[in-house]
Amino acid sequence: MPELTGWAVVVALLAATVGVITASDKSRSRWGWLLLCLFVPPALIVLFFLPALKLYGPGEQPWRRWVFFRVPISAFVLVLLFPFYWMIITTVRPDKELYRPWQAPNYAPFWTAHPTLDHIRDLLTTTLFSTWMLNTMLISLAATAISLFCGLLAGYALSRLKFPFAGSIGTGIFITYLVPQTLLFIPLSDIIRNFKLGDSPWALILTYPTFLIPFCTWLLMGYFKSIPKELEECARIDGAPRWKAMLYIIFPVAIPGILSAGIFAFTLSWNEFIYALVFLASPDQKTVPVGVTSELVRGDVFYWGELMAGALLGSIPVAFVYSFFVEYYVSGITGSVKG
Amino acid sequence: MARVAMRSLNKKYDEVHAVIDVNLDIRDQEFVVLVGPSGCGKTTTLRMVAGLESITSGHISIDDKIVNELPPMDRDIAMVFQNYALYPHMTVYDNMAFGLKMRKFDRAEIGKRVQEAADILGIGQLLRRKPRQLSGGQRQRVALGRAIVRHPQVFLFDEPLSNLDAKLRVQMRVELKKLHERLGTTAIYVTHDQVEAMTLGDRVVVRKDGRVQQVGDPMELYNQPANRFVAGFIGSPAMNFVGVRLAAENGSLWAENPGMRIQVPAPLKERLGPYAGREATLGVRPEDLRIAGAGDPGELTFPAAVEVVERLGSEILLDVAVGETTMVASVEPTAPAKVHETLRLAVNPDRVHFFDNETEAAI
Amino acid sequence: MTTIEAVAPRQYVRGPRRGPITRLLEDERKLALCLMLPTIVLLGLFIAYPFVKGIELSVTNTSVGVPGKFVGIENFKKIWTDDIFHIAVWNTCLYTFVTTVFKLVLGLWLALLLNRHFKGKAFMRAFILLPFIIPTVLSTFAWKWMFDPTFSVLNWMLFHLGIIHSRINWLGDPGLAMISVIIVNVWRGVPFYAISLLAGLQTISPELHEAAAIDGARAWARFRHVTWPLLLPVTLVIVLFSVIQTFADFQLVYVLTGGGPANATQLFATYAYQLGIGTGLLSQGAAISLAIFPILLLVVIVQLVYIRRAETL
């Protein structure tokens, strides 16, 4: 086996090199891409998976630990987090340093000797950034509240009650869960115009639930199913009508699930871009992602300092919510892909 | 306090006919146990009484009031579930008070009743705890407490002891019995464990495949099983069944097969008369077999080859080969039994049963 | 223990009178209807109706402010012969396929690394998810800045590592633009894959690995015969979700390249936006975004078949 593995690595690396060269060629050779996809992943598998797997057992040699665990995971963390570092460093870097070409001898990318808050000040005083933050917050909270309300009720009904068409409604909601926003934004923009909702927060507060409700319903259905049905049966025998058993017994027990769904829905609304881009026009109605994109880029001029400051500040609320509820967020992710 | 009656009760799911034509009258203050193997419809019946399952046909009445259409909340019953179904987000106190709150009792009355119930069950010091901080036995008590604070008309128990370990189960069984004697509330108890059924029930209903097989007090079921299923289900170790041929000879009736030949005792002779010359099943409980002594008449004994000897302390179980079949005999702990030995077993003539091979009914 | 009398004076407890609403909600079907109503209204109004509207738009020649006339499949015919649309189809498929392969492989690798016990694991797991939770548009701007031809920190790094000798115009070169877009998408998607797969890995009981090891299975065999089959269901679902999202991706490309240079990174969604919103040709835009629908349908069918199979197991 070892010889075979060695050959596989060599072939894959060769193919990958050829692939990279041809794929980046201006003629855009499709063969290059094909080679790249077919051979790079197997090469990665052979190079790293196999040794990584052996790490389960005890008695691991230190060099193996370095090569197959510490170095790769550090590389992952570095690559995954570097853009955020770059965001921060750009925000506090004075313009003079910022617009210095990378070939310049005094280009010092990873630190700055003269940190400044000018960009943040400019962002908050000369642009409508604080208005966008407020808009986004309002819209996200409202959309999340509506979606949680609907998702809770629908999730309960679909997981607990027997009624006609329950199966097809469940499937329908699952399908809408998969519908991407980009499928419907054009007809929706027409409808929003017809409903006279254009350019107001309501356009988003009412349309965000279209992708949040299916998600919340799906997540909460899974959560409700994990709650023993005897709990509410017992409540009903104890003298509670169905709706009270739902409200006083099932919903309180489902609080972790509700939190997961709520946090996830909040970050999804904060992230949303295309609806906000299409439905909103006035600068003072925009959300953070759209405002940053359209108002901080004038013509071909990018105000990178303000842009990065905006990206940084715009990320803080989600990062803040996330940092407090990491576990709920993670269970939201895993719940969202459960079949 | 209430009587519960079921009249031609049926429950059909899409494919399964879970409960078939059940008729049952439960007297006031009676403790009735529904017992049977899983899938016999006993839990479904209980859930229909609770109002958790719709009734396909027939009716259920509590105190002559037909309750088919009454939602569970208005039936004034209490149920203890197998997994206890304690509300995990509430304290023990709130768990027990929930039913009273739903019925809009005032605070003082709720406090008084919860305290009473807690005293009876000895869980007074646990009232401020959450269910997850309790042991299995304590949870069981809380579940019972939640049922008794309400002073309901009927208690329903759905295998409440099966999640406990063996020792606790015996202990709780005794406490349940005491509790019922003290409160006197009508109770319906579902279990698959025949020992629980025998020890707890004033009357026991044996079920199989949706049908009632026999209703009676525990000793009646033990002594006069209505059919082969009941005979085999009640009693441990289970009754031995041996296929025999009945032969009339010189005015007496003999049950015979290649391994044994036993004279049918006089009281049974008349009923077995029509079976002369036909096959039937002989049933005899292990405790009704003993090692034959000098005084035992030859027509009630047969040879048996000992295959396994299980010494349980209070008794010895002998797995023996009789002809082509195997039987279990329970003999006194001092009996001199050795593996591979052949000895003679005697049958207690008053306690043999015969079953029809086709209908499986007792003859 | 108190005596029997403590409980014996029993009152006959009657249920309180029920109001008409409680009576109504006690009926399983009516309760279900009430609970489903808000969801059905909202989804009907803003999913089903737009979908019908989209189909309606795509068979007319509506543009902004101009009510259209029925033109049949004219729009689809036009798209069919549109060179840019062809490029968009190829680009979208390529983009989806390449990113999915890389996200899966790298995600699985990261998940395997994270599945070990080490100090600060929870901390690291929390940080690793950042690319996924930070608004895409905002983090993509950071990448755009890093890709800037004149001020690129990436060029600086590659230059000082000795890999390149002249500047790379990441977003200006057609081939490189696609690679750049792919890199950012993979960067954003890997954490999601890793965390979902990690959750899948953690449901696999270590005893299975131990049993397999005792049975003499080596590391690769254990992965192949124990881990992978048990991980496959969750992997399939993750891939399906990710394929749909990537296929319909918009914001990343919109920010990085806007579909350029020369349509080299044009996707369905960006092209639909360009035509439908940019130039106001609503009907053609709607027709293009409807082209996403077949792939969605395919995925849904696969998903449903898969669920059915999983249920029969």
Q: Does an H or E element contain A204, and which?
A: helix A201-207
Rounded to an integer, what distance in angstroms lies between the CA atom of residue B97 and that of residue B106? 11
Answer whether B54 touches A (CB < 8 Å).
no
Answer whether B190 touches A (CB < 8 Å).
no
Shared-domain flag, residues B190 and B210 = yes
B250 in Cβ contact with B314 (< 8 Å)? no
**What's the rounded mean pLDDT across residues C251-262?**
88
Q: What is the mean pLDDT of chain A?
A: 83
Classify residue B318: in a domain, yes or no: yes
CATH of C74-312, one of 3.30.365.10, 3.30.420.10, 1.10.3720.10, 3.40.50.1820: 1.10.3720.10
Angle A304-324/A255-271 helices, nearest 10 degrees? 170
B155 in Cβ contact with B75 (< 8 Å)? no
**For position B333, what pLDDT does the model report?**
87
Give residue B222's domain range: 4-233
Answer whether B52 touches C (CB < 8 Å).
no
**What's the rounded mean pLDDT across residues C209-222?**
78
Find the CB nearest B79 among A234, A249, A252: A234
Q: What are phi and psi of C127, to 5 degrees?
A: -70, -35
Please check the confidence at residue A328 and state whether its pLDDT lies above 50: yes
Answer whether C26 touches B (CB < 8 Å).
yes
Characterize A180-219 residue by residue with b for buried, 16 or more Cβ atoms within 10 angstroms of its Cβ, and e for exposed: bbbbbbbbbbbbbeeeebbbebbbbbbbbbbbbbbbbbbb
Which of the pair, B238 or A109, is modelled with greater confidence? B238
B153 in Cβ contact with B62 (< 8 Å)? yes
pLDDT band at C136 (very low <50, low <70, confident <90, very high): very high
Q: Do A240 and B73 touch (CB under 8 A)?
A: yes
C282 in Cβ contact with C63 (< 8 Å)? yes
pLDDT tens by residue, B314-341: 899 999 999 888 999 999 888 888 888 8
Nearest Cα of chain C lies from the Cα of A327 at a distance, in angstroms, of 9
Shared-domain flag, residues B213 and B146 = yes
Please check the confidence at residue C222 and state whether its pLDDT lies above 60: yes
Answer whether C13 touches B (CB < 8 Å).
yes
Could you say which of B205, B233, B261 is where a domain stops?
B233
Q: Tell if the pTM clears 0.80, that is, is over it.
A: yes
Best of B43, B87, B159 to substitute, by most chain A Cβ atoms within 10 angstroms, is B87
pLDDT tens by residue, B170-219: 999 999 999 999 998 999 999 999 999 999 999 999 999 989 999 999 99
pLDDT band at A31 (very low <50, low <70, confident <90, very high): low
Answer whether C16 touches B (CB < 8 Å).
yes
Could you say which of B179, B208, B233 is where a domain stops?
B233
Nearest Cα of chain B lies from the Cα of C20 at a distance, in angstroms, of 14
Find the CB nearest A240 among B52, B83, B102: B102
Interface partners of chain B (CB pairs < 8 Å, 3 or more) are A, C
Shared-domain flag, residues B130 and B149 = yes
Shared-domain flag, residues B201 and B338 = no
| Least reliable range by pLDDT among A194-208, B181-195, B292-306, C37-51 | B292-306
Please check the confidence at residue C312 and state whether its pLDDT lies above 70: no
Please check the confidence at residue C174 and state whether its pLDDT lies above 90: no
pLDDT tens by residue, A157-182: 999 998 988 888 988 888 888 888 88
Q: Do B116 and C18 touch (CB under 8 A)?
A: no
Nearest Cα of chain C lies from the Cα of A129 at a distance, in angstroms, of 13
Give me B68's structure tokens.
């088919």
Please check the confidence at residue C210 and state whether its pLDDT lies above 90: no
Rounded to an integer, what distance in angstroms lies between the CA atom of residue C254 and that of residue A86? 21
Classify residue B361: in a domain, yes or no: no
Query: What number of H helices and E strands is found in chain B?
Result: 9, 20
How do the domains of chain A map onto residue ranges?
A: 2-119, 121-336
Shared-domain flag, residues B139 and B99 = yes
Find the CB nearest C11 among B117, B148, B151: B151
**What's the rounded mean pLDDT across residues B136-164?**
91
pLDDT tens by residue, A287-318: 999 999 888 887 777 888 888 999 999 998 89
Answer whether B183 touches C (CB < 8 Å).
yes
Supply angle C-alpha A241, A247, A251, rounded to 5.
135
pLDDT tens by residue, A55-97: 445 556 777 777 778 888 888 999 999 999 989 988 888 888 7
pLDDT band at C7 (very low <50, low <70, confident <90, very high): very low
Percent of residues, chain B, with pLDDT higher than 90: 57
- Whether cis (ω within 30° of 0) applies to the bond prior to C206 is no
Classify residue B64: in a domain, yes or no: yes
How do the domains of chain C map onto residue ranges?
A: 18-45, 74-312
**What's the rounded mean pLDDT across residues C210-222?**
78
B122 CB neighbours in chain C (<8 A) are 1
Highest mean pLDDT, choosing among A20-29, A95-104, B87-96, C109-118: B87-96
**For position A55, what pLDDT does the model report?**
46
Cβ of B337: how many Cβ atoms within 10 Å?
17
**For position B206, what pLDDT does the model report?**
94
A244 CB neighbours in chain B (<8 A) are 102
DSSP secondary structure string for all residues of A163-174: -TTHHHHHHHHH
Answer whether C249 touches A (CB < 8 Å).
yes
- Nearest residue of C to residue B51 by CA position? C26
Best of A35, A48, A111, A182 to substitute, by most chain C Cβ atoms within 10 angstroms, is A182
DSSP secondary structure string for all residues of C246-258: HHT--HHHHHHTT
A271 CB neighbours in chain C (<8 A) are 135-137
pLDDT tens by residue, B99-137: 999 988 999 999 999 999 999 999 999 999 999 999 988
**Cα A334 to chain centroid, rounded:** 13
Q: Do C15 and B151 touch (CB under 8 A)?
A: no
Could you say which of B233, B263, B294 is where a domain stops?
B233
Answer whether C305 touches A (CB < 8 Å).
no
**For position A339, what pLDDT does the model report?**
46
Shared-domain flag, residues B185 and B246 = no
Q: Do A239 and B85 touch (CB under 8 A)?
A: no
Q: Please determine, looking at this structure, whether the domain spanning A121-336 carries the CATH number 1.10.3720.10.
A: yes
Find the CB nearest A241 among C25, C220, C264: C25
Classify residue B340: in a domain, yes or no: yes
Please check the confidence at residue A262 and state whether its pLDDT lies above 80: yes
Q: Rounded to a whole number, what is the largest CA-CA distance in chain A? A: 80
Give me A114's structure tokens.
């003269």
Which of the pair, A36 or B75, is modelled with greater confidence? B75
Rounded to an integer, what distance in angstroms lies between the CA atom of residue B362 and that of residue B353? 7
B151 CB neighbours in chain C (<8 A) are 7, 10-11, 13
**For position C9, what pLDDT does the model report?**
31
**For position C209, what pLDDT does the model report?**
78
C251 in Cβ contact with A186 (< 8 Å)? no
Answer whether C11 touches B (CB < 8 Å).
yes
Shared-domain flag, residues B186 and B327 = no
Chain C contacts in chain B segment 64-123 (CB below 8 A): 71, 73-74, 76, 103-104, 116-117, 119-120, 122
**For position C1, what pLDDT does the model report?**
32
Domain count, chain B: 2
**For position A290, what pLDDT does the model report?**
92
* Amino acid identity, position C193: Y
Nearest Cα of chain B lies from the Cα of A161 at a distance, in angstroms, of 12
- CATH assignment at residue B74: 3.40.50.300
Shared-domain flag, residues B68 and B154 = yes
**What's the rounded mean pLDDT across residues B74-88?**
91
ipTM: 0.85
Rounded to an integer, what distance in angstroms lies between the CA atom of residue C30 and that of residue B361? 48
**For position A45, what pLDDT does the model report?**
64
**For position A68, what pLDDT does the model report?**
76
Which position has the token pair 């009258």?
Answer: B25
Shared-domain flag, residues B84 and B162 = yes
Cβ of A138: how many Cβ atoms within 10 Å?
14
**For position C2, what pLDDT does the model report?**
31
| Least reliable range by pLDDT among A5-19, B47-61, B285-299, C200-214 | A5-19
Rounded to an integer, what distance in angstroms lies between the CA atom of residue C141 and that of residue C137? 6
Shared-domain flag, residues B256 and B210 = no
Q: Do C15 and B119 touch (CB under 8 A)?
A: no
Please check the confidence at residue A34 and state whether its pLDDT lies above 70: no
Highest mean pLDDT, choosing among A262-266, B272-276, C147-151: A262-266
| Least reliable range by pLDDT among A270-274, B78-82, B197-201, C207-211 | C207-211
Q: Do B103 and C15 touch (CB under 8 A)?
A: yes
